[in-house]
Amino acid sequence: MNVWLRRAAGWLAAIGLVGCGDPPTSIVLVTVDTLRADHLGSYGYFRDTSPHLDRLASESLLFENAYATSSNTLPSHVSILTSTYPARHGVEGNFRFYKHPLATDDSLQSMAQRLRAAGFDTAAFTSASALAEPSGVAAGFASFYGTPPYDSVKQRTEFRAEQTVSAALEWLSTAAAPFFLWLHVFDPHLPYAAPAPYQDFFATSPELHAFMRERRIPRHLAGAANAYDDEIRYADAQLGRLFERLRELGPVAIVVTADHGEGLGQHRHEKHSEIWNEQLRVPLIVHLPNGYRGRRTDLASTVDIFPTLSGALNLHLDFGSSDGIDLLAGSRSHLVSQTPVSIEQPRADYAIVGSSIDDTVLRHWKLRTRKDGRHQLFDVAADPHELSNLASARPATRSELKRNLDDILSASRSHPRLAPRELTPEEREAIRALGYAE
Ligand SMILES: [Zn+2]
């Protein structure tokens, strides 16, 4: 039994798990678009970007090494909701994959569908056109609040966090327990333009330059980091309104995570769609009523969220054919993430992260496999900013991870994927006008 499994077994004894006879606990899932973990106070950031999230984190179990499955909004959210990798669910990009309704197959049921069948009231509040109702994510939600997929001039549309949080609070005022509420806020996605009083909240400082220097981010991008942090602080203030209401409601399980991070100039990428860790490592804060508080440093994937909740809350849901595990019952040895695919880029880059203990030192080896056949290997526990490529120095580690990646991907692909549906002529035209080929 490895050290993590032993420790997890200890945790099980320490956690006040919900008893079998108790009524089900309501669940709130918060996804913050584009939120990289290392810009939050609870993940060690030097700035006070996230006082409300940090307070929640102090009352929760925090996973320091949590990874999104994709650096793209829709694939990553479908992974969270179905507990499967994009290679299994098949939604590997945004608008081009709009046509997949969730759960044409039992194994690809969304958590909303599973919980609704178990008697939960279900509601989703989303803030961006990538997660509009036709994207497929609405499956299983009795109430769905989202932007139009596109407006009358065929632009993508987005809501500010204030609008979406207000809509969720209104729904909560009459919600009957048990419920499952999913809230998605789009800030801090581009454009970085926080409303007052959060605009220009943060200014360039020697600490910021040191943070950027450590990550090899060019100095001239300090303004983008400031504006991105302004948006986090704004989103955090809006989430504070939700958390305050949830505290009044009594015991509710709350999970906060993100669909992906943001480059901000690290590894010469400013946005997202790559598999560097600043784009994949996301916050994962799991708040269980009467549950364990603390931090875990072993690997976690966002596909683990619902199997973990199901175990902790005694929901007895079957995740047998998913890619997720119950993180309170064990630890993962590997996880996989990928880039989005498109007409121009029909093949993805993949990252596999594997955990090992060498001479009592915990290592997280990460292999990046690129479309052009090149591989890069990083010891991300010792080299968190992925500066030193060890692919030539550690050929055995590289080969072992590649074999594991191939096994995981072929197992994922052996399952039926979500079936595409025919686009209406209007959808076809709108998607084309948005600049996305079908
Ligand atoms: Zn996103």
> pLDDT, tens digit, for every residue of 40-63?
999 999 999 999 999 999 999 999
10-40 burial, b for 16+ CB within 10 Å, e for fewer?
ebbeebebbeeeeebbbbbbbbbbbbbbbbb
User: Considering only CA atoms, which of 172, 160, 170 is closest in space to residue 238?
Assistant: 160
- pLDDT band for position 14 (50/70/90)? very low
Which residue, 332, 325, 329, is CA-closest to 299? 332
pLDDT bin (cut points 50, 70, 90) of residue 183 is very high
Q: Which residues surround ligand 1, an ion (CB under 5 A)?
A: 33, 73, 259
For residues 329-354, average pLDDT? 91
Distance, CA 329 to ligand 1 centroid (Å)? 29
Query: Does 414 reside within a domain?
Result: no
Is pLDDT larger for residue 349 or for residue 155?
A: 349
* Residue 438 belongs to a domain: no
Span 79-93, mean pLDDT? 91
Q: What is the mean pLDDT of residues 405-434?
A: 74
b/e sequence 332-343, b meaning 16+ C-beta within 10 Å:
bebbbbbbbbbe
Going from the Cα of 70 to the center of ligand 1, the distance in angstroms, rounded, reads 9
- At 420 the pLDDT is 57
Instruction: Choose among 182, 192, 203: nearest CA to 140.
Output: 182
User: Is 222 within the bounds of a domain?
Assistant: yes
Residue 153 scores a pLDDT above 60: no
CA 75 to ligand 1 centroid distance, Å:
9
61-76 residue pLDDT tens? 999 999 999 999 999 9
Residue 108 — pLDDT band, cuts 50, 70, 90?
Answer: confident
User: pLDDT for 347-364, tens place per residue?
Assistant: 899 999 999 877 778 789
Instruction: Specify the pLDDT at position 402.
Output: 96
Token readout for 264 is 């901000």
Measured in Å, residue 423 CA sits from the centre of ligand 1 at: 23
Look up the domain containing 304 and give its range: 26-328
Examine residue 39 and state whether it is found in any structural domain, yes or no.
Answer: yes
Domain total of the chain: 1
pTM score of the predicted model: 0.91
- 420 residue type, one letter: P
pLDDT tens-digit series, residues 238-265 = 999 999 999 999 899 999 999 999 999 9
Alpha carbon of 10 to ligand 1 centroid (Å): 36
pLDDT digits (tens, 9 = 90+) for 391-409: 999 999 999 999 999 999 9
- At 139, the amino acid letter reads A
> Cα–Cα–Cα angle for 129, 133, 134, nearest 5°?
90
Q: Please tell me the distance between residue 344's alpha carbon and the centre of ligand 1 in angstroms.
A: 20
Return the CATH number at 170.
3.40.720.10
Say if 334 falls within a structural domain: no
Distance between CA 183 and CA 180 in Å, rounded?
Answer: 10
Bridge partners of residue 353, in order along the sequence: 335, 366
Percent of the chain at pLDDT exceeding 70? 86
- Specify the pLDDT at position 434: 57
Query: 74 CA distance to ligand 1 centroid (A)?
Result: 7
Tell me the CA–centroid distance for residue 33 and ligand 1, in Å.
5
Q: CA-CA distance, 371 to 338, in Å (whole number)?
A: 11
Residue 367 lies in a domain: no
CA of 73 to the centre of ligand 1 (A): 3
pLDDT at 396: 93
Token pair 């099980």 is found at 12
- For residue 250, the CA-to-ligand 1 centroid distance in Å is 30
CA distance 398 to 391: 6
> Rounded to the nearest whole angstrom, what is the distance from the C-alpha of residue 18 to the centroid of ligand 1?
33
Please tell me the predicted confidence (pLDDT) of residue 419: 60
Q: Determine the pLDDT at residue 266.
A: 96
CA of 106 to the centre of ligand 1 (A): 26
Q: Tell me the CA–centroid distance for residue 32 and ligand 1, in Å.
A: 8
Ligand 1 centre distance from Cα of residue 81 (Å): 14
Among residues 22, 39, 353, the alpha carbon closest in space to that of 224 is found at: 39
Q: Residue 356: its pLDDT value, please?
A: 83
Q: Which helix (H) or strand (E) holds 115?
A: helix 111-117
Does residue 38 lie within any of the structural domains?
A: yes
Do 49 and 233 form a contact (C-beta atoms < 8 A)? yes
Query: What tokens appear for 72 in the block?
Result: 């793209």
Q: How far is the CA of 135 from the centre of ligand 1 (A)?
A: 13
189 CA to centre of ligand 1 in angstroms: 7
> In degrees rounded to 5, what are phi and psi of residue 298?
-75, 175
**Residues 145-182: b if buried by 16+ CB within 10 A, e if exposed:** bbbebbeeeeebebbbbbbbbbbbbebbeebeebbbbb
To 10 degrees, the CA torsion angle through 115, 117, 121, 122? 60
Answer left, alpha or beta for residue 62, where phi above 0 means left and psi between -120 and 50 means alpha: beta
1 vs 408, which has greater pLDDT?
408
pLDDT-derived band of residue 415, with 50, 70 and 90 as boundaries? confident
pLDDT of residue 123: 98
Residue-level pLDDT at 2: 40
Distance 34 CA to ligand 1 centre (A): 5
Q: Average pLDDT for residues 170-183, to the nearest whole number?
A: 96
8 A C-beta contact, residue 281 and residue 48: no
Q: Read off the amino acid at residue 143.
A: S
Please give the pLDDT value at position 52: 98
Rounded to the nearest angstrom, the distance between the alpha carbon of 15 and the centre of ligand 1 is 33
Residue 159 CA, ligand 1 centroid: distance in Å? 13
Instruction: Give me ligand 1 centre to Cα 259, in Å.
Output: 5
pLDDT confidence of 422, banded at 50, 70, 90?
A: low
Ligand 1 centroid, distance to 8 Cα (angstroms): 31
**What is the average pLDDT score of the chain?**
88
Question: Is 249 within a domain?
Answer: yes
Instruction: Write down the pLDDT at residue 373.
Output: 87
Question: What mean pLDDT comes out for the span 230-239?
Answer: 98
